Structure 1
Amino acid sequence: MKLKLLCSLALFGLLGAFAKAADPDFLSKDNWEGLEKYWKFEGSSIIGKTDANPGFNTFFCSKTKYTDFELHFDVKLTGTKWTGNSGVQIRSEIFDKEKFKVKGPQCDMGDRYWGSLYGEGMKEGMLKASKWDDVSTVLKPDDFNDYYIKVVGKKVTIKINGVTTVDQEFEVLPPAGVIALQIHAGNPMEVIFKNIKFKNLAK
């Protein structure tokens, strides 16, 4: 009960911080690009879905590059245990525009990776693994989970349903780059991002 109360208070604080922070340009359809067969806007939500294995990880990418920011959203991920996987790239780079492949730090989600910071396409691989014992107490499988990301300088903070999973500096963090949402190669999956709130801290 105490943990749930603390998590609720933490979420309330995050919502308050975003009360006057929305960046209307971030969610503009003109600010996003990717393979249309997999991605779509539905109102203010973004949905990624595959009906068959695409054969590669592909991303829905912001056209704008960002440095410091806060990103807060609810996310629902469905798929098999091992292939229901997604994530949010921060300060990343598109290296294959035909397939929208991306490399850079990824705020991970799926199976035991929820809340980890992973180096997608980076030689470092896992940058910081979340503690599953902490995440599993608040994670809601096959339902919407509250996901919070803050990037300032070299520091990255990640919270899942109010529980902090990453909060430290990373020397390998690029100075700027796109934000991108992932569809993972493998069996059919769907990821829904809703209630998206973005604050550009560099402005």
Structure 2
Amino acid sequence: MRLPNLSRASALVAAALFVAPAVRADDTSEFLNPDNWEGRADIWKIDARAKSVTGETKEDPKYNTFLCSKAKYGDFELTCKVRLVNAVGNSGFQVRSERFDKEGDKQSFRVRGPQVDIGKGYFGGLYGEGVGGYLLKPKKDAAKPAEVNDYKIVVKGNHVTVTLNGEVTVDEEFPDNKGKNPAPKDGIIAFQAHAGPPMKVEFTDIKFTKLK
């Protein structure tokens, strides 16, 4: 009987034992399920199949209002493309945030907490919506205000990394803001429609992954 080539056998064993890094689950379908969201129906539309969210104000809402997730999220990665139509208006992604409006309020779906900003002069920064202004200004101006912008947001532990059009604009620990930590262990995610002139913001190619 011919003995197997030991070096070849060893290589095969090594190959069998080698386990490639597991591909992370894609949680986009669950994330974009319309049942997971609440907001003003006259402003927001979700297309789960197209993996898109659109916000449009026909007139000034007089306050910042949001499309809010019902679920809370801790560590996650979110990527998408964003376009402010005609570069008008201001928007953003709330992370680890909370609603603070009360039932029956005329100004509904108000949110406070850290916001990854979208708007001329503010793209890619971390803003403290309702908690005291800027937390982290963008390190680089990588925005294309009148065009489509690629966003990647990674929130892990107490760290946030924002990449805008391939450039890292924030890569820091969540800061303490006036004695109040703006980033608890988890919270809602929300999309913003800003007070002011009528505006339209389009979020497309959304991909969401929970990190464990």
TM range (shorter): 0.7 to 0.9
Say if 1:74 and 1:144, in contact at 8 Å, map to a contact too. yes
Letter in 2 for 1:89: Q
**Residues 134-145 of structure 1 aligned to structure 2 (within 5 Å):** 134-135=140-141, 138-145=142-149
Residue equivalent to 2:193? 183
Residue equivalent to 1:126? 134
Residue of 58, 69, 81 corresponding to 1:62 = 69
Q: State the alpha-carbon separation in 1 of the partners of residues 97 and 44 from structure 2.
A: 19
Secondary structure of 1:25 counterpart: helix
- Structure 2: runs of 5 or more not aligned: 1-20
**Superposition deviation, residue 51 in structure 1:** 1.1
Say if 1:79 and 1:187, in contact at 8 Å, map to a contact too. no
Q: CA RMSD in A?
A: 1.7
Residue equivalent to 2:79? 72
Q: State the alpha-carbon separation in 2 of the partners of residues 88 and 106 from structure 1.
A: 5
Letter in 2 for 1:164: V
Letter in 2 for 1:200: K
Residue equivalent to 1:104? 113
Letter in 2 for 1:175: K
Which of structures 1 and 2 has the bigger CA Rg?
Answer: 2
**Superposition deviation, residue 141 in structure 1:** 2.5
Say if 2:87 and 2:146, in contact at 8 Å, map to a contact too. no
**Residues 1-203 of structure 1 aligned to structure 2 (within 5 Å):** 20-23=24-27, 24-42=29-47, 43-78=50-85, 84-96=89-101, 98=105, 99-123=108-132, 125-131=133-139, 134-135=140-141, 138-170=142-174, 171=176, 172=181, 173-202=183-212
TM-score computed with the length of structure 1 as normaliser: 0.83
**Superposition deviation, residue 145 in structure 1:** 0.7
- Structure 1: runs of 5 or more not aligned: 1-16
Q: State the alpha-carbon separation in 1 of the partners of residues 150 and 65 from structure 2.
A: 23
Q: Deviations over 1:9-43 (max 9, x none)?
A: xxxxxxxx9x7532021011111110000001233
Q: State the alpha-carbon separation in 2 of the partners of residues 75 and 148 from structure 1.
A: 11
Q: Deviations over 1:116-161 (max 9, x none)?
A: 00110003x2000113xx32xx422222110010001110000101
Q: Percent identity?
A: 51
Q: State the alpha-carbon separation in 2 of the partners of residues 52 and 80 from structure 1.
A: 16
Say if 2:51 and 2:207, in contact at 8 Å, map to a contact too. no
**Dislocated runs of 4+, deviation >3 Å:** none
Letter in 1 for 2:188: V
Secondary structure of 1:66 counterpart: coil
